Amino acid sequence: MRAFLFLFLCCFITCQRPQQFADTIFVHGNIYTMDQAQPKAEGMAVLDGKIIAIGHLEAVMQFKGENTRVMELHGSTISPGFIDSHAHFMGLGYAKLNLDLAGTTSYAQIVQKIRDRVAHTPPGAWIVGRGWHQDKWDSVSGTMVRGFPTHALLSEVSPDHPVFLMHASGHLGLANGKAMELAGITSATGYSGAGDIFEDEVGNLTGIFNESAMELIASHIPKNEAQQDQLAFDAATKECLSHGITSFHDAGVGQSTIDLYKKNIADGNMKVRIYAMLDGSDRLLLSSYFVTGPAIGLGQDMLTIRSIKLYSDGALGSRGAWLLDAYSDMPDVHGHSIVPPDTLYRVSTDAIRYGFQVGTHAIGDRANREVLNQYQKVFDNQECLPSDFRFRVEHAQHLHPDDISRFHQMGVIAAMQAIHMSSDRPWAIDRLGQQRIEDGAYVWQKLLKSGAVIINGTDAPVEPIDPMACFYASVSRKTLTGIPPGGYEPSQKMTREQALRSYTLDAAFGAFEENIKGSLEPGKYADFVLFDQDFMQIEEDNIPATKVLMTVVNGEVVYTDPTYSSEK
Ligand SMILES: [Zn+2]
């Protein structure tokens, strides 16, 4: 009887409870919702970080109570928060803390930057930088060997400071003489791992260390102190939020990074939602997560650990991408495999068994084919294949035409970075030649038409985190300087809707999170961005100038452009 009375009372209270009021209502926006049922809206009512109503002004104003704050959007264009589906959060932070060489246009300019840094750095302390790319230089100084600079000029300006400068691709680095001396590397040092120590034709070290040979130098750079890590975390957070990135798929993290993220959740300092992909080369890390299973939605969906990052090959720039046929500009070179296919198979089998997604880096057509083959084998060998595993190929840059339709057929997501096309296409043609470029490089529309899901991103710090530059690359297929006028292989352009989807709703799908974010609709998180112009409508060449005015995560304003005021 008592139980009955209790139930009755509960029902009575629930049924009688007044309509919930919003804590904040955002009004007068030009809102792109990415919700097919209602693609555009004017206002949004938010309670406890989630959208409770969205649509016409009158409809959302019904949720205004005594304590509801009304924020004016001044007709600004709003989209769901951008989700970068493949980038490196701490790498982005450190790129901001260390010497940022992205955008340097000559080796002489880099040498000058090192000379300046030397003047302010105690002798013996390491100088670490990242982001240079010889194909972006407008002039060459000093000797080039195998297409890359040598350390001579660098060593001249920094005789007492060890220097290590990572290439933009992250697949090779340039060390100076002091760094090689500290690492005990001489021209007699051999290397048998998956990488190279570059030498000139008479056997002198050039300072270039390729792929895993980079560790010979990198292992001598003092590990970052906890305080530095926190500074890098803060720098990355700021960089993301000021560019409208509210979620981030972090491609390859270790336990210390996860601990840092958890600490920031506890401190209330986690403002960008992170979908962490575990470093697949760390066996201990994987074993421990295979025991506990995925960690989903920590700190109110600020952190999820549910994916494993593996590597199949290197990058196109350093000719490490693994190709079926040889490089067009180096006829005996095919690139190489990084993780052997059977390791890929073994880790992927464990992953699917313990509830993890796998995302494997594959650039060349051979690498992409191997990854799809291994995934297929994993799927075929499951007694009971989970209905929803969403394995991914990271980059999927260059595909053999026969493999394009396999993505959709196998339910494999293509995690591509449109901005790579814009940066790399001018020289990628030398590596692959016209035919292979047309048949299978950066073939967004072919993949989309086959039914595949593409998720977009920047691979920051390889490219700047700015989603508008990447969005522009997606829809124009031009370089950021607008070349060529009609775009490269224009039939492969994404429409603006497709591009926005790849950066929001589909990107959420790539992390099993499409039910909580990626579009603006009731029940989902109020993660959204205000822009100063309507990038879905304006003249194409004006898209890169689009500026973020305000970023909102969990209904909370986490970034405001200094020139913008939202108070009514
Ligand atoms: Zn990456």
255-266 helix and 89-97 helix, angle to the nearest 10 degrees:
80
pLDDT per position as a tens digit, 129-141: 989 999 889 887 7
For residue 132, the CA-to-ligand 1 centroid distance in Å is 16
Alpha carbons 71 and 567: distance in angstroms, whole number: 6
Q: Are residues 126 and 211 in the same domain?
A: yes
pLDDT per position as a tens digit, 161-206: 999 999 998 999 999 999 999 999 999 988 999 899 999 999 999 9
Find out whether 149 and 134 touch, Cβ atoms under 8 Å. Answer: yes
Alpha carbons 492 and 443: distance in angstroms, whole number: 6
Alpha carbons 71 and 29: distance in angstroms, whole number: 10
Specify the higher pLDDT residue, 322 or 15.
322
In the prediction, which pLDDT does 400 show?
98
Find out whether 272 and 247 touch, Cβ atoms under 8 Å. Answer: yes
Question: Of 218, 245, 266, which one is at a domain's C-terminal end?
Answer: 218
Question: Of 172, 195, 218, which one is at a domain's C-terminal end?
Answer: 218
Alpha carbons 409 and 81: distance in angstroms, whole number: 29
Specify the higher pLDDT residue, 553 or 563.
553
Residue 170 lies in a domain: yes
Q: Are residues 106 and 199 in the same domain?
A: yes
For residue 27, the CA-to-ligand 1 centroid distance in Å is 38
In the prediction, which pLDDT does 18 show?
42
The domain that contains 541 carries what CATH number? 2.30.40.10
For residue 400, the CA-to-ligand 1 centroid distance in Å is 22
Residue 568 lies in a domain: yes
Q: Are residues 62 and 96 in the same domain?
A: no
For residue 417, the CA-to-ligand 1 centroid distance in Å is 10
Note the residue count of the chain.
568
Q: Are residues 11 and 120 in the same domain?
A: no
Q: Residue 462: which of 82, 125, 108, 84 has the closest Cα? A: 84
3-state SS, 87-131, equals ECHHHHHHHHHCEECCCCCEHHHHHHHHHHHHHCCCCCCCEEEEE
Mean pLDDT value across residues 377-384:
93
365-380 helix and 341-353 helix, angle to the nearest 10 degrees:
40
pLDDT per position as a tens digit, 411-470: 999 999 999 999 999 999 999 999 999 999 999 999 999 999 999 999 999 999 999 999
For residue 242, the CA-to-ligand 1 centroid distance in Å is 21
For residue 72, the CA-to-ligand 1 centroid distance in Å is 38
Find out whether 79 and 32 touch, Cβ atoms under 8 Å. Answer: yes
For residue 133, the CA-to-ligand 1 centroid distance in Å is 16
Find out whether 344 and 280 touch, Cβ atoms under 8 Å. Answer: no
Alpha carbons 419 and 168: distance in angstroms, whole number: 13
For residue 250, the CA-to-ligand 1 centroid distance in Å is 9
- The alpha carbon dihedral of 546, 552, 553, 559 has a sign of positive
For residue 459, the CA-to-ligand 1 centroid distance in Å is 5
Q: Residue 27: which of 75, 88, 96 has the closest Cα? A: 75
Phi and psi torsions of 278, nearest 5° = -70, 145
For residue 504, the CA-to-ligand 1 centroid distance in Å is 19
Alpha carbons 197 and 206: distance in angstroms, whole number: 8
Q: Are residues 109 and 184 in the same domain?
A: yes
Q: Are residues 73 and 142 in the same domain?
A: no
In the prediction, which pLDDT does 516 show?
98
Tokens read off for 21:
């009021």
Q: Are residues 208 and 166 in the same domain?
A: yes
Question: Residue 123 belongs to what domain range?
Answer: 89-218
Whether the per-residue pLDDT at 9 is higher than 70: the answer is: no
DSSP state of 22: P
The domain that contains 192 carries what CATH number? 3.10.310.70
Q: Are residues 64 and 120 in the same domain?
A: no
In the prediction, which pLDDT does 102 show?
84
Question: Of 218, 235, 269, which one is at a domain's C-terminal end?
Answer: 218
Contacts of 285 (CB under 8 A, 6+ apart): 254, 255, 278, 279
In the prediction, which pLDDT does 5 show?
47
H helices present in 242-392, as ranges: 255-266, 283-292, 298-301, 341-353, 365-380
In the prediction, which pLDDT does 408 show?
98
Mean pLDDT value across residues 309-330:
96
For residue 395, the CA-to-ligand 1 centroid distance in Å is 8
For residue 313, the CA-to-ligand 1 centroid distance in Å is 12
For residue 392, the CA-to-ligand 1 centroid distance in Å is 13
Q: Which residues surround ligand 1, an ion (CB under 5 A)?
A: 251, 459
Alpha carbons 203 and 349: distance in angstroms, whole number: 44
Q: Are residues 96 and 196 in the same domain?
A: yes
Q: Are residues 47 and 152 in the same domain?
A: no
Mean pLDDT value across residues 529-537:
98
Alpha carbons 89 and 548: distance in angstroms, whole number: 20
Q: Are residues 192 and 161 in the same domain?
A: yes
Q: Are residues 14 and 122 in the same domain?
A: no
Residue 12: in which H helix or E strand, if any?
helix 2-16
Whether the per-residue pLDDT at 38 is higher than 80: the answer is: yes
For residue 363, the CA-to-ligand 1 centroid distance in Å is 11
Q: Residue 555: which of 69, 120, 146 has the closest Cα? A: 69
For residue 404, the CA-to-ligand 1 centroid distance in Å is 21
For residue 94, the CA-to-ligand 1 centroid distance in Å is 15
For residue 170, the CA-to-ligand 1 centroid distance in Å is 8
Residue 342 lies in a domain: no
Quickly list DSSP for 34-64.
--TT--EESEEEEETTEEEEEESHHHHHTT-
For residue 309, the CA-to-ligand 1 centroid distance in Å is 9
Q: Give the number of domains in the chain.
A: 2
